[in-house]
Structure 1
Amino acid sequence: MALAIFALNDTLIDGNCASLWAQCMADMAWVDGESYLAREHELMDLYLRDALALEDYLKFSLSSLVGRTAEEVAFVVEPFVEDVIEPLFHSDAIRCLANHRATGDRILLISASAHFLVSAIAARLGISDVLAIDLEERHGSYSGHTEGELPYREGKLTRLQAWLEEHTETLDGASFYSASHNDLALLSQVSRPHVVNPDASLQEHAKQAKWPILSWR
């Protein structure tokens, strides 16, 4: 049995769960729809082009949750995952997960998105092991801040190493599937790196490294 690690955005799903959640909040009137979505789109575009730090995107996006309880958010996240996210699961991703389960591999989902989103999506996929961005709560409500190391770039590897120690696991024979060049640090550490629908930077690196390049639809 080995570890099968999966990124989420543009890997298991066709899209980015944070941006899709922003649209959901606009639909529920939790945010000023037009102006909020315009700003979210602008910041996400900058982030994806490496022109904005993840922390700066989070400062904006998490401000919309200040004062809301985890229970309040969870109540609307479940139908959001069912109605919006589930239709975006790549069929090839579902087959890949099934193949790893058939061989007895342990599956871990790791993402630089908010834990309340990632864990709800993971539950829909039958995945119990999740690493994501942990959100701070104060006086029973979200504060708009994060807690601990962000699972982003080298931080994703740091969080994974801590998880491995906690669960007495290793990267021996491990696989990792990702679409983003931000995951190069982790892709370089596993025995079986796989790039899925890669961005341009990751695709070029994968070609040079002779990593498998998968097209999931």
Structure 2
Amino acid sequence: MTLAIFDLDNTLLAGDSDYLWGEFLVERGIVDGKAYKLENDRFYQDYKAGRLDIFEFQRFSLRPLRDNTMENLLDWRREFLESKILPIISPQSRQLVEKHRNAGDTLLIITATNAFVTSPIAQQFGIDHLIATEPERLDGHYTGEVEGEPSFKQGKVNRLRDWLHDHQEDLRGSWFYSDSHNDLPLLETVEHPVAVNPDEILSGIARERNWRILQLHG
């Protein structure tokens, strides 16, 4: 089957779920508001500039998972999904996913955002296959560390190759939709790269290489 791969943040979503999760934690008073917001904003700017230290960021973003009970985390996640995520899923994004589903393609979301935040979002799109950064768990509790390789930049390609091997799939006819120049390694790997509401760097590269550019949001 043809593989249709979707980035999540600012691609299928009209916003960044990782950043919004941090904003939600601040708004709910779950974390130290001023200090956490400053760090969250700094990491987001680093990401957009292409200089994010993914391990430093993950240690920051996974700390609230480590420091709170699973019961509370699941309650907060449900509230976060309703208040922050559902409003930024556009009809155009759902239509794009359904176009590939109706074509019989295998659907996969690949994202650097952690699996705790993104697994229910993938479910909202009816997509069973998700490659996300995996938070480490011991005895049912999050440790605040990453398990394995984060799915970021070249890590997306590496994690996808492992997934292809495990699922006996290949990249013949494959599609990948992304907004970010951070995803260039994977965009260059598939047969059909598509820039979705691309950032300035990716927009320039997509035009130079005659890649399709798609506007899903705004």
> C-alpha displacement at 1:135, in angstroms?
0.5
Give the whole-Å Cα distance in 2 for the aligned partners of 1:135 and 1:170.
27
TM-score normalised by the chain length of structure 2: 0.94
Q: Residue 177 of structure 2 aligns with which residue? A: 177
Letter in 2 for 1:37: K
Task: Tell me the distance in 2 between the aligned counterparts of 1:185 and 1:70.
Answer: 35
Q: Which has the larger displacement, 58-67 or 13-22? A: 58-67
**2:216 is matched with which residue?**
216
User: What's the RMSD between the two structures over aligned residues?
Assistant: 1.4
Secondary structure of the equivalent of 2:127? coil
Query: Residue 162 of structure 2 aligns with which residue?
Result: 162
Q: Which residue of 2 aligns with 1:19?
A: 19
Which AA in structure 2 matches 1:97? Answer: V
Map of 1:74 onto structure 2:
74
Q: Specify every segment of 5 or more residues in structure 1 that has no aligned partner in the other structure, as ranges.
A: none
Matches within 5 A, 1:8-47: 8-47=8-47
Equivalent pair of 1:137/1:143 in contact (CA under 8 Å): yes
Indicate conservation of the 8 Å contact 2:112/2:150, yes or no.
yes
Instruction: Tell me by how many angstroms 1:28 deviates.
Output: 2.5
User: Which one is further off, 33-42 or 201-210?
Assistant: 33-42
The one-letter code matched in structure 1 to 2:188 is S
TM-score of the pair, normalised by structure 1:
0.94
Higher mean C-alpha displacement, 56-65 vs 18-27: 56-65
Percent identity of paired positions between Structure 1 and Structure 2: 36
Assess, with a 3 A threshold, how the Cα gap between structure 1 residues 176 and 70 changes in structure 2: closer, same or farther.
farther
Q: Flag as ranges the 4+ runs of structure 1 deviating above 3 A.
A: 69-72
Aligned-partner residue type, residue 12 of structure 1: L
**Letter matched to residue 25 of structure 2:** M
- Give unmatched runs, 5+ long, in structure 2: none
* Closer, same or farther: CA 134–69 of 1 in aligned 2, 3 Å: farther
**1:121-132 map, 5 Å:** 121-132=121-132
On the 8 A contact 1:69/1:142 being kept in 2, the answer is: no
Q: How many residues align?
A: 217
Q: Note if contact 2:172-2:191 (Cα within 8 Å) is conserved in structure 1.
A: yes
Measure how far apart 1:70 and its partner are.
Answer: 4.2
The one-letter code sitting in structure 1 at the alignment partner of 2:158 is T
> Does the 8 Å contact 1:47/1:57 carry over to 2?
no
